[in-house]
Amino acid sequence: MSEDLSRISMTLPPDLLAELDEVVAGWDYDSRSGAMRDALRSYLTEYRAETALSGDQRGSVVVQYDHHAGDVTEQVVALQHEFAETVIAVQHVHLSADRCMETLAVDGSGEAIRDLANRLRSLAGVEQVQVAVVDAG
């Protein structure tokens, strides 16, 4: 191994590992490591963009969650009410018997939108949160 690389270990559930292996094969990566490096770069780019949000923003926060996981549905709704000045509309979609997706239309400060997204991510049962905004100024 090259001296300018560090080795880490990762624990994944079987279904996620199977999907990773499909990506490795489908996109002709030489290894899982190459795919994970690219995935991590994308993740960090998204993180940097979201943490830099400021000023007036408009857009959406999309949340996917397992509605059988504890009281996640109630917690998602409670956050929508807590951020009532920012969340201006909600669309709820049943993806499967276990999975739901909510698209929250948002209008407010980048800081409030970032806080909402982070609070949603922290809920047990939430599997994915995506933020897509444009500067409202």
pLDDT values of the chain reduced to their tens digit, one per residue, 137 residues: 557 888 899 999 999 999 999 999 999 999 999 999 999 998 888 888 878 788 899 999 999 999 999 999 999 999 999 999 999 999 999 999 999 999 999 999 999 999 999 999 999 999 999 999 988 77
Please state, in angstroms and rounded to a whole number, the distance separating the CA atoms of residues 53 and 56: 9
Q: Write the CA distances from 26 to 17, 31, 114, 116, integer angstroms.
A: 14, 12, 33, 35
Four-CA torsion 40, 41, 42, 44, nearest 10 degrees:
80
Fold type of domain 54-135: Alpha-Beta Plaits (3.30.70)
Question: In 3-state terms, what secondary structure has residue 31?
Answer: coil
Question: pLDDT, tens digit, for every residue of 6-34?
Answer: 889 999 999 999 999 999 999 999 999 99
